[in-house]
Amino acid sequence: MFSADVLDAVQPVIEAAFGGDGMASWQASLSSSAFDDPAQHAAVFIYGLAAHHAYLTERPGLPAVTGHSLGIYAAAVAAGVLSAGSAVRLILSAGAGIERAQRDRAMRLLVVTGLTEPRLHAMLDHGDRREEVRITHYHSSVQHLLSGREPTLRALASLCIERGALSATLLPFPGAVHRADLADFAGAFLELVDETEFRDPSTCFYSPVSGALVKTAGEARTTIRDQLIRPVRFTETILNMAAAGAGEFVVLGPCAQLMGIIGWIHRGARVILYPAGPGKAGRR
């Protein structure tokens, strides 16, 4: 997957996250389907960190970075605003909050394609959906992820199809993410964010919460705090990066689906998956 030199570079981070048997535990967690497990979150972060190290051994540095959901931590380290050790501590703390919330709320995610944001909001402003369901990811003008309890989401999926959605599919991921009510379960994480040292970005760093360019350590702190309790506005983020001149996007992580999402948002973009794993297209 990665060269020995790259693995040596991330070994201290692996040990900080997984202890003495770090490498084996990292690889096991990376292939785990326990998506509400904090160790799995740390494993994905370390993969992104390793991918960034590997990329820099082959090509010039990236002029701008951002992150989708959990990917914000690797982007923050790449932008110089956060140390890798601090990122691991924050990820494990945030993951523990998500795990508690998921255990209490038992939420799922629903991906809806083919309905605009105003139409979705109109459908959500009704009965139990008003209190329970939230849009957690804005992936394009016509694709969104919604969080809620499974029975509510199943009924909503049927309604979306009736109203003209191309698809409405439940995902095998925990839904207790990117919601304001996560603050009830993530107090320790929010305190840790306040205690953690942040630095001004050393490269252009875009917030996936606001879509805006992060210019100061204070703005970086706010971005890391808010990414847990506010939705991912990936559409605005990619469009703002494109408006600033980005024409090529490199996905540094195991989520090949981001290639398609970026392509939907910015039709003229060249999107590269790095490293391209077995059976994965490396370009779009």
Residues 6+ apart with CB under 8 A from 8: none
Q: Tell me the pLDDT tens digit for each residue of 98-126.
A: 999 999 989 999 999 999 999 999 999 88
* Predicted pLDDT at 81: 97
What is the model's pTM?
Answer: 0.92
Residues 6+ apart with CB under 8 A from 258: 68, 251
Return the SS3 of 282. Answer: coil
- The alpha carbon of residue 135 and the mean position of all alpha carbons in its chain are separated, in whole angstroms, by 14
Confidence of residue 277 (pLDDT cuts 50, 70, 90): low
Is residue 61 pLDDT above 90, yes or no?
A: no
Distances (CA, A) of 201 to 70, 76, 80, 141, 188: 18, 8, 6, 29, 25
Same CATH topology for 4-102+180-231+248-274 and 105-174: the answer is: no
The beta strand positions in the chain, using DSSP E, are 64-65, 107-113, 134-140, 143-149, 167-174, 204-206, 213-214, 232-233, 248-252, 270-274
Question: Where do the structural domains in the chain lie, given as residue ranges?
Answer: 4-102+180-231+248-274, 105-174
CATH superfamily of 4-102+180-231+248-274: Malonyl-Coenzyme A Acyl Carrier Protein, domain 2 (3.40.366.10)
Q: Are 141 and 70 in contact (CB under 8 A)?
A: no
Q: Give me the percent of the chain exceeding a pLDDT of 70.
A: 97
pLDDT tens-digit profile of 148-176? 999 999 999 999 999 999 999 999 888 99
CATH 3.30.70.250 fits 105-174, yes or no: yes
Out of 19-23, 40-44, 127-131, 222-226, pick the least confident: 19-23
**Residue 282: its pLDDT value, please?**
47
Between CA 46 and CA 30 the distance in angstroms is 9
